[in-house]
């Protein structure tokens, strides 16, 4: 027997005791795999029939492996125990062995005998960038789990009451969203970074090395190069595309930044905000200053603040009176079904974690999960009844809609053609759901707010505080990581270079001096979790293209931001055709099918916010744009 066979047999013995759920599945898959090794003595797959037959079996094996890994990850994230964390590592290690064997077998396939579709499958199969060394695979998995555990279990204790300690979600996030006391905001902002960054930094340094080893083995320059190809297949100018898109939207961001800075200065004074043109990161209503919608009460004009506050309170009050958490999910389901998309499955309602349980530690970061099992799709979230969660519910259910649409595709095609499209689906729906017209349809808007130009601008401003404010943050997270993976940013300058980029693109500075003892990137979940982020930047632009196309199909007439395609089965049918494709075609082709263009563009988002841009121009007369005089808040 070869080395892999011996290892698999040893694994079967190891896993022979106390086998439950995923372990039982793993044992069965390994047994089946051993049989396939003994029964397949072919050294070449040089006929189309044999190669296609082999790929069909590969898709079957991958489906089982993806299910095992999905189950292990779900069990860990919904019950943060050391045993569940170990299971993630165990299954990742054993699955890696099988992935590697499949890659070795793939070398026997003659690509010239395959058609375009099967060559595409082969390319995706060969894109797994993990080391051949099972010890490295296990080390990578456990390092990631250790970082995520630190993040998920972090708490910040009150100075005056050391026994009163707050986790990130929802307690610390609520402080950042609702407090208007700069001292309390600073306590939460700094405290969260103190309990995550220093502990995660040494692990992250190791993690980068391990990821790069796996990528180099697969002939990539580094993990960043592998990631870019995997996320945006066959887009050789991906970085240039991102740079172009950022330059297209930067003028609108500069307007919004200058206006928010002006209103924050009016609220807190120049002593707190500063006079360099930048904005301290703790004042923007969000732990990461990535979305600013929570400070809409500060940034609306003084004459409109009472009306805005009353409208926000009215929306929140009526939403809570009409719906509980389950009601928010049912609203989202009804919206999707109204446009001929899918109802959730029985398994979804039975197995999803929609609210925070009291009997165990969980990861509250909202996420959708394809379990790679018939009709098994889930959402994990610690939802509450708020307008923000109404949007988040639609976003996550949008992922599930995509899962359901491509469920019948081969396993290698069960994904979106680029990672941004997956993020854009639910947000496209949320643009319609949060329109004045749809909120009125839901009975959330009072009649006193109808036909009010002020309310129209305020709704656009609230949207811009989330959509436009996010763009530079979404742009820099992976720009920073790519430079880390390539070695352009060394481990001795992780934090300084991070804050240099935040200042350059976002105009944001730390409220207290930072150093290399700190590791502020780790305060964002996607860094320890190793989740890509440029996808969000692209999705925040693509969703407006999707939205404009669906609005046109629904027959909407008028300003783009006033469109609601609720109950337009024509729009939903058009959308479903794109979603059904999964990853079976290049993203340019999928985009063309929906929008009639093959290029991601900022034109739709600019059209959506054009009325706001005109309004901001009037508000900013005499106000400087930018932050040329600003420097990072740094100590050596």
Which of 138, 526, 570, 610 is catalytic? The answer is 526
b/e code 375-410 from CB counts within 10 Å (16+ = b) = ebbbbbbbbbbbbbbbbbbbbbbbbbbbbbbbbebb
Locate all alpha helices (DSSP H) within 287-385, ordered by sequence. 296-299, 302-322, 325-338, 346-351
Taking residues 360-364, what's their average pLDDT?
90
- Residue 25's pLDDT is 53
Distance CA 469, CA 484 (A): 25
- Residue 46: its pLDDT value, please? 62
Q: Using 50, 70 and 90 to split pLDDT, how confident is the model at 2?
A: very low
Q: What is the pLDDT of residue 43?
A: 45
Mean pLDDT within 79-100: 86
Other C-beta atoms lying within 10 Å of the C-beta of residue 468: 24
Q: How confident is the model at residue 108 (pLDDT cuts 50, 70, 90)?
A: confident
Q: Span 358-376, mean pLDDT?
A: 93
- What pLDDT, in 10s, does the model give residues 433-449? 999 899 999 999 877 77
Which two tokens mark 236? Answer: 């050789």
Q: Is the pLDDT reported for residue 452 higher than 70? A: yes
Q: Rounded CA gap, 308 and 306, in Å?
A: 5
Q: What is the mean pLDDT of residues 108-114?
A: 87
CA distance 97 to 107: 16
β 377-380/367-370 pair status = antiparallel
Is residue 17's pLDDT more than 60? no
- CA angle at 420 for the pair 431 and 387, rounded to the nearest 5°: 30
pLDDT: which is higher, 468 or 91: 468
Q: What is the mean pLDDT of the chain?
A: 89
Per-position DSSP letters for 231-275, written without gaps between them: HBTT-TTHHHHHHHHHHHHHHHHHHHHHHHHHHHHHHH-HHHH-S
Listed range (194-203, 231-240, 391-400, 536-545) with the worst mean pLDDT: 231-240
pLDDT digits (tens, 9 = 90+) for 534-574: 999 999 999 999 999 999 999 999 999 999 999 999 999 99
> Cβ–Cβ contacts within 10 Å for residue 362, how many?
19
Neighbours of 128 (CB within 10 A): 15
pLDDT above 80: residue 42: no
Residue 487 is predicted with a pLDDT of 96
| Residue 47 pLDDT class (50, 70, 90 cuts) | confident
Could you tell me which of 364, 329, 377, 348 has the C-alpha nearest to residue 78? Answer: 364
pLDDT on residue 31: 45
Confidence of residue 496 (pLDDT cuts 50, 70, 90): very high
Domain ranges of the chain: 3-128
Is residue 384 part of the annotated active site? The answer reads no
The mean per-residue pLDDT over the stretch 24-32 comes to: 51
Least confident segment among 143-147, 376-380, 565-569: 143-147
Q: Rounded distance, CA 308 to CA 158, Å?
A: 32
| Contacts of residue 34, Cβ cutoff 8 Å, sequence gap at least 6 | 5, 8, 9
- Known active-site residue 396: yes
Confidence at 132, pLDDT banded by 50, 70, 90: low
Q: Is the pLDDT of residue 33 over 80?
A: no
The region of weakest confidence among 99-113, 195-209, 327-341 is 99-113
Closest to 354 in 3D by CA, of 334, 328, 388: 328
Q: Is the dihedral of CA 603, 608, 609, 611 positive or negative?
A: positive
**pLDDT (average), residues 445-469:** 86
The residue with greater pLDDT, 98 or 201, is 201
Phi, psi of 343 (to 5 degrees): -80, 150
The catalytic residue among 396, 407, 423, 548 is: 396
End-to-end CA distance of the chain: give it in Å, rounded: 58
Q: Which of 118-132, 253-267, 322-336, 372-386 has the lowest mean pLDDT?
A: 118-132
Which pLDDT band, with edges at 50, 70 and 90, does 135 fall under? confident
For the stretch 219-232, pLDDT in tens is 889 999 988 887 88
Half-sphere exposure of 363 (CA within 13 A, CB side): 27
Per-residue pLDDT for 370 more than 90? yes
- Flag whether pLDDT at 15 surpasses 60: no
């Amino acid at each position: 027997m070869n080395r892999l066979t011996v290892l698999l047999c040893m694994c079967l013995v190891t896993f022979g005791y106390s086998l439950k759920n995923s372990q039982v599945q793993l044992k069965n898959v390994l047994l089946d795999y051993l049989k396939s090794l003994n029964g397949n003595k072919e050294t070449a797959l040089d006929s189309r029939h044999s190669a296609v037959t082999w790929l069909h079996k590969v898709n079957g094996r991958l489906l089982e492996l993806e299910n095992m890994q999905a189950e292990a990850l779900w069990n860990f994230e919904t019950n943060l125990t050391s045993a569940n964390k170990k299971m993630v590592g165990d299954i990742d290690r054993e699955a890696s062995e099988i992935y590697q064997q499949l890659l070795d077998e793939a070398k026997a396939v003659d690509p010239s005998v395959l058609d375009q579709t099967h060559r595409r499958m082969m390319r995706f199969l060969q894109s797994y960038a993990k080391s051949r060394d099972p010890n490295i695979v296990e080390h990578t998995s456990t390092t990631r789990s250790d970082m995520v555990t630190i993040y998920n279990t972090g708490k910040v204790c009150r100075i005056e009451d050391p026994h009163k300690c707050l986790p990130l979600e929802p307690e610390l996030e609520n402080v950042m969203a609702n407090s208007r006391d700069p001292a309390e905001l600073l306590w939460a902002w700094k405290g969260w970074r103190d309990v995550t960054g220093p502990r995660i930094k040494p692990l992250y340094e190791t993690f980068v090395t391990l990821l790069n080893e796996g990528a180099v083995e697969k002939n990539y320059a580094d993990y960043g190069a592998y990631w870019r190809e995997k996320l945006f297949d066959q887009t050789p100018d991906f970085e240039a595309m991102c740079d172009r898109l950022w330059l297209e939207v930067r003028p609108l961001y500069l307007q919004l930044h200058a206006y928010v800075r002006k209103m924050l200065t009016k609220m807190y004074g120049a002593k707190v905000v500063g006079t360099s043109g930048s904005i301290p990161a703790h004042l923007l209503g969000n732990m990461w200053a990535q979305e600013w919608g929570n400070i809409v009460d500060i940034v609306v004009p003084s004459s409109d603040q009472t009306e805005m506050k009353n409208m926000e309170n009215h929306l929140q009050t009526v939403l809570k009176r009409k719906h509980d958490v389950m009601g928010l999910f049912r609203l989202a389901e009804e919206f999707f079904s109204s446009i001929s998309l899918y109802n959730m499955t029985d398994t979804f309602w039975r197995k999803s974690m929609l609210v925070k349980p009291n009997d165990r530690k969980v990861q509250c970061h909202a996420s959708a999960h394809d379990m790679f099992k018939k009709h098994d799709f889930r959402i994990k979230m610690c939802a509450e009844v708020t307008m923000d969660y109404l949007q988040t519910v639609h976003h996550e259910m949008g992922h599930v809609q995509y899962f359901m649409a491509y469920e019948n595709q081969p396993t290698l095609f069960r994904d979106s053609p680029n990672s941004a499209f997956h993020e854009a689906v639910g947000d496209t729906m949320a643009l319609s759901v949060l329109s004045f017209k749809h909120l009125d349809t839901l009975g959330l808007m009072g009649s006193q707010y109808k036909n009010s130009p002020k309310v129209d601008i305020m709704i656009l401003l609230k949207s811009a505080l989330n959509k436009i404010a996010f763009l530079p943050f979404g742009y820099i997270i992976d720009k920073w990581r790519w430079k880390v993976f390539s070695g352009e940013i060394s481990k001795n300058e992780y934090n300084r270079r991070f804050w240099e980029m935040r200042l350059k693109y976002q105009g944001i500075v730390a409220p207290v001096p930072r150093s290399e003892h700190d590791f502020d990137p780790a305060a964002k979940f996607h860094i320890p979790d190793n989740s890509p982020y440029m996808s969000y930047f692209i999705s925040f632009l693509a969703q407006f293209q999707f939205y404009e196309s669906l609005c046109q199909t629904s027959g909407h007439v008028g300003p783009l931001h006033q469109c609601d395609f609720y109950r337009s089965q024509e729009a939903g049918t058009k959308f479903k055709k794109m979603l059904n494709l999964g990853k079976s075609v290049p993203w340019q082709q999928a985009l063309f099918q929906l929008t009639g263009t093959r290029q991601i563009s900022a034109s739709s988002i600019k059209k959506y916010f054009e009325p706001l841009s005109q309004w901001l121009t009037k508000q900013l007369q005499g106000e400087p744009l930018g932050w040329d005089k600003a420097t990072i808040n740094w100590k050596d």
